[in-house]
Structure 1
Amino acid sequence: MRLKLPQLVRRSLKATSFWRDYSLILGEFKYFPWIAFGAIAFAFGAALFEGFGFGFLLTFLQSLVSPDAAPFHTGHDWFDVWILGVNESATSRLFRVSGLILISTWIRAVFNYLSQVFTELTQHKLVDSLRRRIFEQLQSLSLSYFTKAKSGELVSTLTNEIGSLRAAFGALSYIVTKGLTLIVYLFLLFTISWQLTIISVMLFSLVAAGLKNLNARVREASFGIPAASGRFTSVSMEIISGIRTVQAFATQDYERQRFYRASSDLLDVSMKAVKRWALIRPLAEGLASTVLISMIIVALTVFVANGMLQTASLLTFLFILFRLVPAIHELNGNVAVLNNFTGALDNIQQLLRTDNKPYLSQWYATLSRAATGDFL
């Protein structure tokens, strides 16, 4: 089943830089839209039940910190009376909330499992679909293309770049699923204290703005990796296929220099990219920890001291914030990883282009264009 979106939505998506950068991945979802939708839906379900668990945590902490205080009310009488047991004793309410937290945790675990299964299934179908597209593209090209293109670079695209695509999709799926969880976290933080949440969002936005330039440099450095990898594969294949000629004419030293030079070039561009993306995660951790400590100081000295926030609410807010900070660390790290594979994705897209290659016949060209059609 192929998915067709409304014309306005299609034009809006195509105009975004995210679509231009990752259309190779997103465009393949037209062949298995419901599997991709299932992965997102189950991820959203897991995030939703994690939010329920945090909501019950507020009642749980209130029962521990202030057992004699008025019980927490949601505003729905049937839920407050029959589920939370607001008319029961503090011990009974504690047991009820503990059970609700456990139920939410196990349901979230089931949704996480289903989301992981559907994500892996989407990843394997994506890789298989692109392999078939590349095969059909190569089959339809005329011999004049292969006299100019290096076989090692083509093999590198089918092996190394496809492997990079798999890793890029893993990073992209993590960004999507964790992004849904962050939305739930922000909603809960707003319900507890919108003032503290706005301060947190502003500070973390400054951190994200500071890391944006570094992510752009990682993306720029990634374009040299597939080119160097293709040259290394070409040199390796030439040496292996022509080993008899090498030994017959005693050119081992010359081939050794070619191989070492190609290997060194690949090492240099890889290390250049690694040095940039490896800096993002520890830098983000340091900045986020600074923000977190600042938030604790502000909350205690301003909001709790002036009676604007209860102790149980502050503990719940900080607990969610402590869960939010590592998620932001991982999110920034995966954005850096995704940017590191931009060059590999661009290399595959260039191979699949149909407007700059000679085809065996017009029928082959039409067939190839149909196989590489737009998602939108």
Structure 2
Amino acid sequence: MTIFIDYSLPLMEKFLSVYQHPTTTVFIDDNQRFLDSLSFQLDPRIAHKTFQNAGEAITWIREASRNAAGRGLSIEVSYDEQVLSLERRVVSVDLEQIYRRVMNPQRFLTPSVLVVDYAMPQMNGVAVCEALGSLPCKKIMFTGQADDKVAIDAFNLGLIDHFLTKNDHAVLDHLAVGIRTLGNAFFVDQSSTLKELLGRQSHSFLFDPVMTDLIGRLRKQYDFVEYYLFLNPTGLLFFDFHGTPTLMVIETEAGMLAHFEAARDAGGPAGLVAGLEAMQILPFFSDTGMYVDAIEDSWQAYCLPAQHCQGQQDYFWALFDLPCRYLPGPIYSYADFLSDLLKRRQ
């Protein structure tokens, strides 16, 4: 019998994190043949690192987690400590640090999911998970049939997030689902505080399951493997497998009205004003932010047909190419990372 715990985990995929990118899954098992077989059969797009020695794995995971935090891979939220009242404290967030995270080539080394065997001679899987309990990485434990009670107890104590039996004929499929689901949960947890703050402003789409579903479909359609919340204009900055950026501009009805009023009050071209009023076109005035006279003759180059998504409110969106000036340098893509990883293993 296969035991696959997923209590409420799929619910985490109904809401977006403020950023998400591929990470490294860590496998720990004293059976090297099993690790080699797992590496061979695993989806080649799942970056992973294997350890036969639990102590070495714990050391690497701790160091990798520290490096991730030390290299600006975590989003910091600061508060005005001079104000004694918690309700009156001013919250300060540099929102541009979210999408600047893509400039760090070490981001893919972040350990997000740990897969550990229970029955190891020097240190069992529960002890490994206890040793790493303070870290944010999610944990899956492999067990034998006789170890089900141990796994259930560990799950109930919050030491692990999933457990699987090794002898299940579909274990690789279940493992892939667990890695994907818990990888999403890892980012939801990492950005929960910041997301709560943003959700009260102009980023309500982060909490809308209809928008989450739409973005999931777009990621599959265009092979977007990472995304980051974008501030101005509001939306998500996607990168595909090869590092090509695409900006999804997302406007509410109020945002569309603001664009219309700005163009109308500036005496903009009739076609632009009419399209904005009817909410049929979505602008991304990448040079100016809003409509100005200087782009009167070229306004169409800044607009795309507005796609409509009716969720908890009406959203209008379009996918734009991102001008190079928004990024300070070349992107180290996930394709490059996997290629380099393969070369190091050879």
Q: What TM-score, normalized to structure 1?
A: 0.24
The structure with the largest helix share of the pair is: 1
TM-score with structure 2 length normalisation?
Answer: 0.26
Identify which of structures 1 and 2 has the higher relative contact order when contacts are C-alpha pairs closer than 8 Å and 6+ apart. 1
Q: Which of the two has higher C-alpha Rg?
A: 1
